[in-house]
Structure 1
Amino acid sequence: MAKSMCDYIQLRDVQLPVPVYLQRDAWRRTNKPQPATFSVRLSYPAALISLAAENDTVGHTLDYGTLYRSIESAIISSNKDAIPDENAGDPSTRPSHSKDIVDVALTISDAAHKVLWSEIGATEHAKDDAVYLDHWFTEKKEEITVDLHLPKAILRAERGLFCTLVTRRRPVKEEDNFMDFDLTVRIEGIRCACIIGVNPHEREDKQIVELALTFRQSKGKTHMIPKEYQTMVSKVAESVDKTSYETVEALATHAAKIVLVEFPLDEVTVRVEKPSAMAFVAFSGLEITRAASFFGVSRRPA
């Protein structure tokens, strides 16, 4: 069988019928439910997809319904420790919860991984079958991408909190801690009002600026993903509100400095946009990436 590229099976823009629970909600309250949407995309052997197409049968492919129900079940199971028992007399005995958006994304990815391999195993091919010559098997092309959006996770971020988790190679044994992954966490729609611009009319009144903060991590890196989203966004927004820069370059650098000096992070990407600056342009601005070392800050390895 000729070597082929991977195919993909996906669920897009899934509105979870059950809420997720994080350590803190937008008002910093613990164990409060909030809505979430997600998409999941799994690489799949093209040889098996071809067999499904040739025979016009689902016997060689992955069942969407099984994938969805497994993810939903995993989310419900992960919520059990977060939902307080209202009959518990002492609130301090109620379960505490420390999940953040990355943990939820990993729950979805783990559930998808289990379904992927259970479905491939169910196709019942002999070990010497030509289907296993597909480079998905020979070159270990397994890849699962989860995009998760919590629209109401952060009070001053109108577009919410986003997480993209891409996992590839998984540990062979449970005690192994190796995983090939890329992780991106993004905070969108941080709206501030400040004096910004070089034109005389821009120096008279405050105008709205919209910020986004992006954090990226991959295997072997530490100090890359924040934990205190609420506190960070509040500090950045409150500081930006008081600024009076002429350029978005200076404003973006100011925001990056707040993040990297006041929080234990190694790098941040800051996007600053001015929606009111040009009449026929929806947003004008720039995006910068800065490391903590740019501001003279060094971090010890974790």
Structure 2
Amino acid sequence: MTDSNSNTKSDPPAPLQSSFQVLSSAGESFASVRVQNLQGTISVGRDAWGRANKLQPALISTCVSFAQPFGTASSGDVVNAETAHYGNLSKNLLSTLNLFDASSPPKDPNVVGKAETEGPSSADVFELLWVGLTGRVVDGSQRVLPLDQVPFLDTGKLRSLELTVLLPKASLLGEGCSLTVTACFKEGADGNPLKAYARSIRIHGLRVPTLIGVNANERKAKQMVLADVVIDKLDVTRDIHPEVERMVVDAMEASSFETLEALAVHIGNKILSDFRIGDDPKPARERGWQVKISLSKPIAVPLAECPTIEIKMGADLP
């Protein structure tokens, strides 16, 4: 993203915290603008089978929260610097997404081969989207937008910013996988405007036949269990959702637990103790990750949509 016109001066990066910590630090929002599920397609990340560089749909959502209420923007019934034009916000996100499609393919055969097997990660695209909005990289440490370009958002007027990229076709048994960054901002800051930021991935709506339950009828056959898995305080940028999904599905398929609570803790411990990034021997627990597991049994209670339990475990948690 850098070039000869960019400001390459670096500032200390903002600390990586949990999403809860960042939103708590930001405080209550008095005014915000949201864009939900902006649709595009791109060859990014990894698909449901773990293959890289495959064209797939992407849904982009963002929430821009301002430090001050809408004053003259509301009283004067005009779109001004107190708010963000949601039409232009959408155009900014889509035009940034299209930068990958507009890029010229590499000519070096070695580079071409690597691009075909690896391709851009979800985090690569995310970085571009974030830079287009704020002018800085995700941790705020460096301004990489050329000096003659103004970022879409004035970070000095922001309380928080949340950006999510959802790949709805990137899960074999679920409703998709998403990457989310949430940041809170300092008031009148020189240099890095971020107070803190959080990065998380989520596997949405896994549907796995599971042997679970305390009743005699539930011990005779597997029933469908819905699972949502969130990994927070994520300190890596590579796409890991296929491996995380496989680990969760394996744990659920092998289950003989009677309670959702025991199964959820088992899944959380499996991720924290056994999941590793490539050849790095450090387990997820030592990386400081936090894992949130939500499990539902849709047919367990006839007159309710579904009973659900949710647990959160990992670094800095009981």
TM-score of the pair, normalised by structure 2? 0.68
Residue aligned with 1:23, SS: coil
Q: State the Cα distance separating 1:237 from its structure 2 match.
A: 0.6
Secondary structure, aligned partner of 2:221? coil
Please name the residue that 1:241 is paired with.
253
Aligned partners of 1:143 and 1:168 also within 8 Å: yes
State the distance in 2 between where 1:240 and 1:231 align: 14
2:175 pairs with 1:115: no
1:77 aligns with 2:99: yes
Look up the match of 2:86.
64
Q: Which string of whole-angstrom CA distances, capped at 9 and with x for unpartnered residues, describes residues 59-93 of structure 1?
A: 54533332222211111114556x867x9877526
8 A Cα contact 1:164 1:184, kept in partner: yes
In the alignment, which residue of structure 2 is the partner of 1:14?
A: 38
Matched, 1:52 2:89: no
AA paired with 2:164? D
Percent of counterpart pairs with the same letter? 25
When structure 1 is superposed on structure 2, of 259-268 and 161-170 the one drifting more is: 161-170
Structure 2 residue matching 1:25: 3-state secondary structure: coil
CA deviation after TM superposition for structure 1 residue 275, in Å? 1.1
Aligned-partner Cα distance in 2 for 1:75–1:289: 33
1:251 corresponds to: 263
Q: Which residue of structure 1 aligns with residue 290 of structure 2?
A: 267
What SS class does the counterpart of residue 68 from structure 1 fall into?
A: helix
What residue is the counterpart of 2:56 in the other structure?
A: 34
User: Using the alignment, how far apart are the partners of 1:270 and 1:57 within structure 2?
Assistant: 43
Of structures 1 and 2, the one with the larger relative CO (CA 8 A, separation 6+) is 2
**Structure 2 SS opposite 1:58:** coil
1:151 aligns with 2:171: no
Length, aligned pairs only = 257
Aligned to 1:205: 221
User: Unpaired segments of 5 or more residues in structure 2?
Assistant: 1-28, 135-150, 276-282
Superposition deviation, residue 241 in structure 1: 0.8
Alignment CA distance shift 1:224-1:8 (3 Å): same
1:197 CA displacement: 0.9
Residue matched to 1:190:
206
Separation in 2, partners of 1:179, 1:45? 13
Query: What is the one-letter code of the residue matched to 1:276?
Result: I
- By how many angstroms is 1:223 displaced? 4.8
Deviation at 1:291?
2.1
Alignment partner of 2:308 out of 285, 289, 295 = 285
Structure (1 or 2) with the greater helix fraction? 1
Of residues 136, 140, 165, the one that matches 2:181 is 165
- Tell me, in whole angstroms, the C-alpha distance in 2 between the residues paired with 1:251 and 1:225: 28
Contact 2:184 2:194 in 1 (8 A): no
Contact 1:224–1:267 (CA under 8 A) maintained in structure 2: no
Q: CA deviation at 1:225?
A: 7.9
Q: For residues 164 and 12 of structure 1, what CA distance do their matches in structure 2 show?
A: 13
Distance change (3 Å), C-alpha of 1:172 and 1:80: farther
Larger Rg: 1
